[in-house]
Amino acid sequence: MIELGISTASLYPLETEKALELVGKSGVKNTEIFFNAACELEKSFVTELKNIAQYYDVNVVSIHPTMSLAESFMLFSAYERRTKEGMEQYKRYGEIAATLGAKFVIMHGGKDNGVLDDIGYCNRFLEISNVVKESGVVLLQENAAKFRAGKKAFLESMVKILGDDAAFCLDIKQCIRSGYDPADILDIIGKNVRHLHISDSTEEKDCLLPGKGNFNFLEFFKKCDEIGYKGYAVTEVYRNAYCEYDEVFSNQAEFLLKMT
């Protein structure tokens, strides 16, 4: 059974702690926390987030680092010293995830202009994964558009090279922005998918609240069920997908009714 949730990223640019509190007040019980500044990695801030989550009984499923746009430069380049610095940041994110009770840390990874071939990229992913795993947390590669993992061919290669060590967050809007049917991406990485980012779309708009577009969620979730997926489906949309914050939360209840 897939459980629904809402990412704090859906409320951006509301400050992270305020976004988490809104999620808690809404009654939503599962969330992903998207970090937006280096100061949010401080122990005192993480403690504040933990207290908010515990007060509202919110399950933090995953966290998303603020360094997504810099990962290609920091982690997938040929400059060893900078890579080590990037690894230390990811080690910290692993610690934060463990503190918050999250199972996953999600990365966008490297871009197409990187110096590493597919094997080199996968070996680097394993290195980062092992650093995160020290805290008992799993690193997930997201299929982010305009990044290397946004391409079908690379996803196929990553699964082939890493086997069971490949682990993914499948993001529906990223599939669409890359020009792919999410069901086709699920065919490639399905057995390695550990987490879902969901959103809806129409021909005019590629990121809407679930149930507000044309995407066939019933069919998609059925396909997830057939491959044995039993994780979370977290709504992650952009601020232009709605007008008022309340819409995000009321939509969750409406969407749940449609799925049952």
Residue 252 has a pLDDT of: 86
What type of residue sits at position 94?
Answer: G
Q: To the nearest 10°, the Cα dihedral for 35, 2, 191, 158?
A: -20
- Asked whether residue 251 carries a pLDDT value surpassing 80, the answer given is yes
Mean pLDDT of 161-169: 98
What is the average per-residue pLDDT within 140-162? Answer: 97
How far is 211 from 225, CA to CA, in rounded Å? 19
* Mean of pLDDT values over 16-27: 98
Spatial contact of 7 and 32, defined as CB atoms under 8 Å apart = yes
- Compute the average pLDDT of residues 176-193: 97
Digit-coded pLDDT (tens) for 210-246: 999 999 999 999 999 999 999 999 999 999 999 999 9
Q: pTM above the 0.85 mark? A: yes
The tally of CA atoms less than 13 A away on the side-chain side of residue 227 is 18
Q: Residue 150 and residue 146: Cα distance in Å, rounded?
A: 6
Q: What gap in Å lies between CA 10 and CA 29, rounded to an integer?
A: 15
pLDDT at 260 over 80: no
Whether pLDDT at 44 is above 90: yes
3-259 belongs to CATH 3.40.1390.10: no
pLDDT of residue 141: 98
Classify the C-alpha dihedral 142-221-32-243 as positive or negative.
positive
Q: What angle do CA 60, 145, 124 make, to 5 degrees?
A: 70
Q: Which residues contact 189 (CB under 8 A, 6 or more apart)?
A: 143, 155, 159, 166, 168, 170
Share of the chain above pLDDT 70, in %: 100
Report whether pLDDT(1) > 90: no
